[in-house]
C-alpha cells in the first residue's frame, strides 16, 4: 500500500488508546464538507514499508494504529497491512464510509479490526446529496450498517452535523434506522482551508444539543464531539 499521510501520536482517533494514525489516499465519496479533500488525489505518498518501520520503532509506546482516509477499504492491500500491524502486538481501528461492505465483511470475519468507526452521512433520503454521490447505492450502506450491528467487533457510528445539509427530520430518520445501544457521535462541522466546499457553517452548541435530544430516545449512547 501507499499512504497519503501519517500522524505519530494521537489521543483522539482511537478511543481509549494511545495510537498512531495513517491516512490512505482516494475516496469513492465527494462529501462537500470533507476536511481531508487533499486526500482525494494526494500529491505526497508514503511507502507501506517505511510506515511499518516507523510504527515498529514506536511499538513500545503505542497501543494501536488508526487507519483513516480518504477511504481505506478502496485499497486491496488493506487487510495485509492490518495483519502486519497486529503482528506487532498493536490494536487496529478502521474508519470507513461503509461503501465497500464486501471488504468490511472480510475484515470483520478475520478479526483484523479491534474497533470500527463508520460515518452515517445523513438520512437515507438525503444520503447521496450529503455524500456527494447522487446515484448512491444505499444497499451497500445498509449492508455495512447491518454487518456492524449484528457482529461482535466494537464500533461506533458518527455523523458530522452541517446546518445547511441536515434538518431535524434527518436525525429522526437516522435514529429510527440505527436504533440501538451502540455509541453514536454527533460531530460539529468546522471550516478550514482544506474543506472541499467552503459554503457551510459550524453548528452552535444549542443546535447540537437539540439534535442530541431528538436521537436520544432511540440512541441512548449519543454524545457530542467537536463543539466548544
Nearest residue to 34 via CA among 107, 133, 100: 133
Q: What is the pLDDT of residue 228?
A: 60
- For residues 97 and 130, the answer to whether their CB atoms sit within 8 Å is no
Does residue 199 surpass a pLDDT of 90?
no
Q: What is the pLDDT of residue 79?
A: 98
In CATH, what number is assigned to the domain containing residue 156?
A: 3.20.20.70
What are residue 156's DSSP bridge partners?
117
- For residues 187 and 159, the answer to whether their CB atoms sit within 8 Å is yes
- For residues 154 and 16, the answer to whether their CB atoms sit within 8 Å is no
Averaged pLDDT for residues 70-80: 96
For residue 156, is it within any domain? yes
Cα(178)–Cα(186) distance, rounded to whole angstroms?
A: 14
**Largest Cα–Cα separation, the chain:** 49
Per-residue pLDDT tens for 6-60? 888 887 788 889 999 999 988 999 999 988 766 667 667 889 999 999 999 988 8
Nearest residue to 168 via CA among 134, 203, 198: 203
Count up the domains in the chain and report the number.
Answer: 1
For residue 208, is it within any domain? no
For residue 113, is it within any domain? yes
C-alpha cell at 130: 450529503
Q: What is the pLDDT of residue 43?
A: 65
Query: 70: cis peptide before it, omega within 30°?
Result: yes
pLDDT tier, 74 (very low <50, low <70, confident <90, very high otherwise): very high
Q: What is the pLDDT of residue 39?
A: 64
- For residues 6 and 51, the answer to whether their CB atoms sit within 8 Å is yes
Q: What is the pLDDT of residue 42?
A: 66
For residue 209, is it within any domain? no
For residue 215, is it within any domain? no
Q: What is the pLDDT of residue 114?
A: 97
Q: DSSP label at 58?
A: T
Q: What is the pLDDT of residue 159?
A: 98
Per-residue pLDDT tens for 125-152? 999 999 999 999 999 999 999 999 999 9
Q: Which domain holds residue 134?
A: 2-167+183-202
The distance in angstroms from the start CA to the end CA of the chain is 37
Amino acid at each position: 500500500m501507499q499512504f497519503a499521510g501519517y500522524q505519530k501520536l494521537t489521543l483522539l482517533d482511537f478511543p481509549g488508546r494511545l495510537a498512531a494514525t495513517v491516512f490512505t489516499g482516494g475516496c469513492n465519496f465527494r462529501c462537500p464538507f470533507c476536511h481531508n479533500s487533499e486526500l482525494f488525489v494526494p500529491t505526497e505518498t508514503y511507502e507501506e514499508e517505511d510506515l511499518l518501520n516507523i510504527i515498529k520503532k514506536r511499538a513500545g509506546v503505542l497501543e494501536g494504529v488508526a487507519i483513516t482516509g480518504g477511504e481505506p477499504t478502496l485499497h486491496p492491500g488493506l487487510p495485509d497491512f492490518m495483519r502486519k500491524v497486529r503482528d506487532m502486538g498493536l490494536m487496529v481501528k478502521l474508519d470507513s464510509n461503509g461503501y465497500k461492505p464486501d471488504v468490511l465483511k472480510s475484515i470483520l470475519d478475520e478479526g483484523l479490526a479491534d474497533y470500527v468507526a463508520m460515518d452515517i452521512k445523513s438520512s437515507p433520503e438525503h444520503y447521496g446529496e450529503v455524500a456527494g454521490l447522487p446515484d448512491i447505492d444505499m444497499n451497500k450502506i445498509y449492508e455495512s450498517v447491518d454487518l456492524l450491528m449484528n457482529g461482535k467487533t466494537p464500533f461506533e457510528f458518527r455523523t458530522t452535523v452541517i446546518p445547511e445539509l441536515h434538518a431535524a427530520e434527518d436525525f429522526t430518520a437516522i435514529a429510527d434506522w440505527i436504533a440501538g445501544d451502540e455509541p453514536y457521535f454527533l460531530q460539529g462541522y468546522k471550516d478550514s482551508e482544506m474543506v472541499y466546499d467552503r459554503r457551510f457553517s459550524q453548528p452552535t452548541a444549542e443546535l447540537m444539543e437539540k439534535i442530541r435530544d431528538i436521537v436520544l430516545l432511540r440512541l441512548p449512547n449519543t454524545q457530542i464531539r467537536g463543539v466548544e
